[in-house]
Structure 1
Amino acid sequence: MNFCSNCGATVVLRIPTGDTLPRHVCDACGTIHYSNPKMVVGAIPEWEDKILLCRRAIEPRHGKWTLPAGFMENHETTAEAAARETAEEACARIAVGDMYSLINVSHISQVHILYRARLLDLDFRPGEESLETRLFTEAEIPWDELAFRSVALTLRLYYEDRRAGSFRFHVADIAAPATAA
């Protein structure tokens, strides 16, 4: 950040009085600009024993499969974001159920929240950000072609819970990928 979004003056990176972390601070108007994690919210759309996945038409991970999810917008709840993202990416209508997983992806400053959801009908198709949408049984999930580790983790937990006959809320952390030496 170079300029204050409040007054347009140049900002400096420093630890403000009473804080412990560096922030972009405007010395002209005193505004402190906080950079906080992004919320990625989506759904696990269920139809009988199948899950709806979308094949991505955008980067990152173009061509890979994912659950319908994306960045939460201002002035919406997480459940509203899950329904909106499912409508945008899969043109699907869902009944949002219980929050299923919260995955901290701190190395990229994101929190991923996924809800269980029931597809209201089979009227779905790719949205602008998807190349393809399809229902998968557990045996058909393209595990090696999943776009994100948070999606793979959530689906593994989902199928473990389904086999156990009881769904529970999961919280997990995903570490930064190992770097090549």
Structure 2
Amino acid sequence: MKFCSNCGNGDLEYIIPEGDHKHRYYCPNCDTIHYQNPRIIAGCVPMYEGKVLLAKRAIEPRYGFWNLPAGFLENGESPEDGALRELFEETGAKGEVNRLHTVFSLPNFNQVYLLFLVDLTSEEYEATTSESLEVRFFELDEIPWKEIAFESSTFALESYIASPSKEKVNLGQFVKY
């Protein structure tokens, strides 16, 4: 951080504020402490009649690899709405959130993934989108595991295969840190 977002001062200090335990950027000009927190990624495991809908990435990182629809949560948006928005943006498909499926944390990248199980309302989707080179359904035994873009998607898919029940489950077994 080079400038204070409150007053524009460029002489920030990196200190441990009194009563805190972590270094924070501090502006001595306006007495503002700048807290930096993890970013939330909302996504889904979109299912229709036992098949999962995956999108082949048309953007970096991991261009050309398959992925579950997911992206950064927007301000003022619930995680469920964010997951459905990402589903539509990346695949053109629509669905309904069934339940929270997995939580996946990447502390080194300051990211927390909330992946929901989504029941697609139909098998309609776009073959390509601005974010996806290709979109298609996969039977669970046909998932291209070596071509999955991110560990968060692999974890969510493996968790689904281990427990495909649509009933509420103990989420503790589906959390990875």
TM-score, shorter chain, exceeding 0.5: yes
Structure 1 counterpart of 2:111, which letter?
Q
5+ residue gaps in structure 1?
A: 174-181
8 Å contact kept, 1:158–1:167: no
Q: 1:149 to 1:24 in 2, by over 3 A?
A: same
Deviation at 1:127, TM superposition (A): 2.4
Q: Which residue of 2 aligns with 1:172?
A: 176
1:138-178 deviation digits (Å, cap 9, x = unpaired): 1210000000011101101101112x7866331112xxxxx
Query: SS at 1:153's partner residue?
Result: helix
Query: SS at 1:17's partner residue?
Result: coil
Q: Which residue of 1 aligns with 2:65?
A: 64
Q: 1:33 to 1:157 in 2, by over 3 A?
A: same
Which stretches of structure 1, 4 residues or more, deviate above 2 A after TM superposition?
164-169
The two structures, once aligned, show a CA RMSD in angstroms of 1.4
Q: Which residue of 1 aligns with 2:4?
A: 4
Cα distance in 2 for partners of 1:113, 1:135 equals: 22
5+ residue gaps in structure 2?
A: none
Structure 2 counterpart of 1:172, which letter?
K
Q: Which residue of 1 aligns with 2:48?
A: 47
TM-score (norm 1): 0.91
Q: Which residue of 2 aligns with 1:153?
A: 155
Structure 1 counterpart of 2:149, which letter?
A
Q: 1:54 to 1:165 in 2, by over 3 A?
A: closer
Cα distance in 2 for partners of 1:56, 1:165 equals: 28
Q: Matches of residues 31-180 of structure 1 in structure 2 within 5 Å?
A: 31-125=32-126, 126-162=128-164, 168=169, 169=171, 170-173=174-177
Query: SS at 2:25's partner residue?
Result: strand
Identical-residue share of aligned pairs (%): 41
